[in-house]
Structure 1
């Protein structure tokens, strides 16, 4: 492991009132031995709230402006309370879905509500080799954002590793998704070489940001979905697999994804929508993958991660020896979910509008911890 940064994350962030319970339970959750309840609530107003910063000047200022972005995220963090095993985790460093692409030649494009990437590979035969550009604006700006936020956090909360993303998802951002699908038939060897080159770039970028955020015990937090563990920890994915099936997944994704999970100490796969299910057997076959997160298509509407229709999916993942992260679980869905699938290996994310509601839910959940002993 790389040496800890003097300005890395705190071992005990002060914006969690009972930190002694957090690290041991997260560590056991990765082994499918524990329940992790990521419970947050809108915080009641108090005298020590941070002041709300002025609005961003434009979309670019909102997404990558300093100090605009870190001040807004610090304010957001100050308006929440963190209960049970919820790490006080900031996603400030997660600019777009796949910022590694911006370090490999794609250009960031910003709007008010989203970020995307302008593809840069028009001709695979003449395009330069894919290598991490540590002089690129994206690499330098993300480094500045992470360092500045750690300084502003001042031991109160954790700063996450940027959402780098990997394999086919990055190549699709560099090449163009529709064109890349044709490449699977017209130029498959180029895709295989490119995905492995992206892996090498990922490892170098991850090592850099891990060195910035790791605490003095080696723990790290990945910004997207906040997986937290004692070592190199990350969320991994291939959202593009919603467009192709198991044969293509086995050839173009599985080798690089397995290599990536082998490199990490703790890896959690982001399963994004029902269209990705045909590839689930391949995903579950990766021995060095410890957990899966499930994002339903309507996660932020009426069918979040606590809906009964997902119980069988969770049981399937748990039966395969992987832990589960269930997001956007409504307060009234927590207990039925625990009763249906059991607490061992479950990481349940739930948010309430009031502290009083959060405290009532936590009281009801506490007995389930005893059942995992």
Structure 2
């Protein structure tokens, strides 16, 4: 692994993380600019055709990441990851006639307007599917073990269906057309499984036999990825049980190490269901703007740990101490940043001193 001297030991700690064990300290990811950093600025272009190149031209993407890698100081478990991202719930783009637009991310537009007329068909020649596979192969060929190539952001079948149908329409369909919704979710699951298996076979050799969720700084041996249902903030517990639980069971059973992305305090209405899924090993807590910080939700975080699940939490540097004081270090992974290399090292030393059962 290039760009970091910590990778060998970090792999051991990350393995222990998934087993809810502590090797010598809890896992902590800290990045900072190198003391002599000279980051280049890569602004998002204005024209749509240039935005498409910004996201899908492998050489341009790789140039941006290499500039970041070369100027970033990786402390603790932090390591260089190329985030393989063509949109959240991006497998929505793998279906015939998928419509999308590139901006600061990939935005999708509904294509299912009438369940009886608009058939959902996986298209192996679709632009986003081909780009996902071809770019992954290119990134791996260029990485040569110098950095990790993450899994694509293909997570959340209901979120993908919301892209394809429109969230408001889908919510009504869940009440009025349950069988059609379930049939569509089965098709999306088939696309998810096919793509994830294909990408896993491409990346695992480069990734020391494992996978990574790029934006969460994870690595795990074997099949690993992220589950999510961001639209669950609009679902009752009964609807979550009816439409989402099968997906969680099926996808987590494919993985050796699985995490769930819990996006905001409103999703805690489904927490007991999530904790009941044996295949989910870690809950990743997201702080949503306008909602309480994780430091204000310690009782919920302790409940997650008491249920035998690990925790991944993005925290600001000043919140690290609070988390270390109030949470078990077993299965705990804190992700943060620092302004200088020295500050980054200080945060890692704090984790060393404050690690406890």
* Fold shared, TM-score > 0.5 on shorter chain: yes
In 2, are the aligned partners of 1:146 and 1:212 still within 8 Å (CA)?
Answer: yes
Counterpart check, 1:178 vs 2:168: yes
Relative distance call for 1:53 and 1:248 in structure 2 (3 A) is closer
Structure 1 equivalent of residue 321 of structure 2: 335
Q: What do the CA deviations read for 1:119-147 (whole angstroms, capped 9, x no partner)?
A: 1111112333443x222111111222222
Structure 2 equivalent of residue 45 of structure 1: 36
Q: What do the CA deviations read for 1:295-336 (whole angstroms, capped 9, x no partner)?
A: 1112xx89654xx20211210110111100001x12222122
Q: 1:154, CA displacement in angstroms?
A: 3.9
Structure 2 equivalent of residue 98 of structure 1: 89
Gaps of 5+ in 1: 1-12
Counterpart check, 1:127 vs 2:122: no
Counterpart check, 1:29 vs 2:20: no
Q: Secondary structure at the match of 1:353?
A: coil
Q: Secondary structure at the match of 2:79?
A: coil
In 2, are the aligned partners of 1:167 and 1:257 still within 8 Å (CA)?
Answer: no
In 2, are the aligned partners of 1:224 and 1:235 still within 8 Å (CA)?
Answer: no
Let me know the Cα RMSD of the aligned residues. 2.1
Counterpart check, 1:158 vs 2:148: yes
In 2, are the aligned partners of 1:26 and 1:36 still within 8 Å (CA)?
Answer: yes
Q: Secondary structure at the match of 1:100?
A: helix
Q: Secondary structure at the match of 1:67?
A: helix
Structure 2 Cα separation of the partners of residues 59 and 115 of structure 1: 10
Q: Secondary structure at the match of 1:234?
A: strand
Q: Secondary structure at the match of 1:168?
A: helix
Q: What do the CA deviations read for 1:224-276 (whole angstroms, capped 9, x no partner)?
A: 42331111100110001011110000000001211111111111000011221
TM-score by length of 1: 0.87
In 2, are the aligned partners of 1:183 and 1:191 still within 8 Å (CA)?
Answer: yes
Structure 1 Cα separation of the partners of residues 245 and 328 of structure 2: 30
Q: 1:338, CA displacement in angstroms?
A: 0.7
Structure 1 equivalent of residue 279 of structure 2: 288
Counterpart check, 1:19 vs 2:11: no
Structure 2 equivalent of residue 10 of structure 1: none
Structure 1 stretches of 4+ moved >6 Å: 49-55
In 2, are the aligned partners of 1:94 and 1:162 still within 8 Å (CA)?
Answer: yes
Structure 2 Cα separation of the partners of residues 55 and 257 of structure 1: 35
Q: Which of 220, 225, 228 is equivalent to 2:216? A: 225
The farther-off stretch of 120-129 and 287-296 is 120-129
Structure 1 Cα separation of the partners of residues 87 and 35 of structure 2: 31
Structure 2 Cα separation of the partners of residues 268 and 346 of structure 1: 13
TM-score by length of 2: 0.91
Structure 2 Cα separation of the partners of residues 109 and 345 of structure 1: 38
In 2, are the aligned partners of 1:52 and 1:75 still within 8 Å (CA)?
Answer: no
Q: Which of 284, 298, 312 is equivalent to 1:311? A: 298
Q: Which of 271, 275, 281 is equivalent to 2:266? A: 275
Structure 2 equivalent of residue 257 of structure 1: 248
Aligned residues: 349
Structure 1 equivalent of residue 308 of structure 2: 321
Structure 2 equivalent of residue 76 of structure 1: 68
Q: Secondary structure at the match of 2:216?
A: coil
